[in-house]
Amino acid sequence: MYKLFLVEDDPGIAESIQTLAKSWGFQVDTVSDFGRVVQEFLASAPHLVLMDISLPFYNGYHWCSQIRKISKVPILFLSSASDNMNIVMAMNMGADDFVSKPFDMAVLIAKVQALLRRSYDYSTTAPVMEHRGAFLNTGDCSLTYGGERIDLSKNEYRILLCLMENKGKVVSREKLMQRLWETDCFVDENTLTVNVGRLRKKLETCGLPGFISTKFGMGYVIEDCV
């Protein structure tokens, strides 16, 4: 099931969109604190964002640019400010499409479905996962921390993805090796140890010591709280 994150301050419009989207099989999270849009976006981990332009505190352009710093999740603007200048501004800020208010709900759903088809290979993995301010983007297999991109090898990315998917749970070495075997890469115990060691060193170098903990005789874990 795809999840949408709705940033709309008109309760009537928000309720209508949420009801319609759910009837089409989407899960919908709506923003509750317009001063913490990015934090709620991360907590939601949606596949697509529906963003109004005129909002309390900061406008949709601001939040779009903030989300773009950490994620390539598709963003669809909804606004009554539909002149060419606003459309161009939205696209320049990183939006993927624009729907003018008032809009036909059928058109909105069609736009959402088209964006999802173009953006995902029907993956159920959340587009962005966060821990201790580090953001793992499953769309382009990148890790960012403090605004800096950390280059990961293919195996390092897959190891970190598995650990973050199971945050707070110990992941055995056998499960990690099996996860890598599912791809085109065969690894043995020594290879896994080397890859985990390199990944840890990269995390420590960028300011994330202790990001991955070892549970001796059990495996590795990313703790929920550090």
Confidence of residue 83 (pLDDT cuts 50, 70, 90): low
More confident residue, 54 or 198: 198
Q: Residue 204 — very low, low, confident or very high, per pLDDT cuts 50/70/90?
A: very high
Is the pLDDT higher at 130 or at 91?
Answer: 130
Residue 11 corresponds to which tokens in the numbers above?
């309760």
Specify the DSSP class assigned to residue 142. Answer: E
What's the CA gap between 44 and 57, in Å, rounded? 20
Check whether 103 has a pLDDT greater than 80: no
DSSP 134: E
Angle among Cα 15, 19, 20 to the nearest 5 degrees reads 120
Mean pLDDT score, 189-212 = 91
The mean pLDDT value of the chain amounts to: 84
pLDDT in tens, 28-53: 999 999 999 999 999 888 999 999 98
Is the distance from CB of 173 to CB of 195 less than 8 angstroms? Answer: no
pLDDT of 137-187, one tens digit each? 776 678 888 878 888 888 898 899 889 888 899 999 888 887 777 554 556
Angle at 133 between CA 139 and CA 36, to 5 degrees: 90
Q: Is the pLDDT of residue 124 over 70?
A: no
Among 120, 210, 221, residue whose Cα is nearest residue 165: 221
Give the model's pLDDT for residue 177.
84
pLDDT digit string, tens, across residues 146-156: 878 888 888 89
pLDDT of amino acid 197: 94
Q: What does the pLDDT look like over 49-79, one tens digit per residue? A: 999 988 898 888 899 999 988 888 899 998 7
Helix (H) / strand (E) element for 45: namely none
